[in-house]
Amino acid sequence: MQGQLEGIKDMSSDKDIEEMEKIALNLYDQLKNHEVPRVEIPTRTKTNIEFDESSRVWKYGDRTSERSAKSIRGAYRLLKLLYTIDFFKHQLEEERSSTLRELYYISENWDKAQFREQQESDKLIEDLEIITDLKREDFHIRPEEDGATIVGPLEIKEKTRRGTREIHCQEDVGEGGYQIPNNPDDVEFLDHGADFVIAIETGGMRDRLVENGFDEEHNAIIVHLKGQPARSTRRIIKRLESELDLPVGVFTDADPWSYRIFSSVTYGSIKSAHLSEYIATPDAKYIGVCPSDIVEYDLPTDELSDQDIKALESELSDPRFEDEFWQNEIELQLDIGKKSEQQSLAKYGLDYVTETYLPEKLSEKEII
């Protein structure tokens, strides 16, 4: 391990590399002083997130967890951390990039430092982000292709390998829309004719809105979240709201996992609370299907599973769902024991969601 540390001491003066170098040098100094190597990071649980009044997003509190070489398992975790820092160092120097999945496989060549599964390497990268106050994009690491898209009256300029290109997200794309890049900060907003942004959980509902011309009739930018949204998707929504001054509505199913999708867009997720100011949109409003809609519209439903019930009960104590609206809706859902999908609105016809339901919801939330 000491040889690994000494090699890392030769890092370049690049700012991002220097931030990682601090971690390695700190561990090196601890070893020199005959101390047990350790690093501390904020505890990533819902009991350690606090609402920041200035940014109106949830951030980590003061509780910390220790990564220590007091145990064999802990020592291996620190070794993997150092190998990862060294890999990122060379990647930045060579101006190359890699995916989260590739990093997991690359570790197969690391002596005694292979990751057991990708979830382990993903969490380690999150640790690095928190400790360094950088983003994984700064390490030139990206997820696999996400596929989330935008359709609507928005003109952009994006960087490509062959230079830049200009795209109109209504006229120059197919029905699927413009695919959001891994680093949405490479996208420049040129012009738009939009009145609001609507972020939609499912591809089927996105297709319904596009087929019905909802984006054209209502001057809406439609963002497909593709389930739990990637950071790049949340970042582009944040930029559309803050830079173009567009209100945002989030349209999801009526189940606990969909509520968490809304929460991740609006307040940030627990595991990425260190990036909340960068990717969260605190003014976004929930326009999705609610338990009260299930009752009011007599929507087709499925029974809540045991997992659903546990998730709802957990949300009742989650500080992100502490306001009266969410408490009442979650309690109602537990009482009726039902969940429902966006597509259940088709009970009233294929045009009902675009002609009636969404306009009413958008008006109720003062988005239109």
The Cα–Cα gap between 152 and 143 comes to 25
Residue 114: closest CA among 146, 87, 143, 150:
87
Asked if 211 contacts 175 with a C-beta cutoff of 8 angstroms, the reply is yes
Structure-token pair, residue 52: 């920041």
- CA distance readout (Å), 322 to 24, 49, 54, 281, 327: 40, 13, 19, 18, 6
Which residues are catalytically annotated?
A: 105
Asked if 144 contacts 99 with a C-beta cutoff of 8 angstroms, the reply is yes
Task: Please list the residues that pair with 155 across neighbouring strands.
Answer: 168, 191
Asked if 2 contacts 82 with a C-beta cutoff of 8 angstroms, the reply is no
The Cα–Cα gap between 100 and 63 comes to 28
* Exposed / middle / buried, residue 278 (Cβ in 10 Å: 0-12, 13-18, 19+): middle
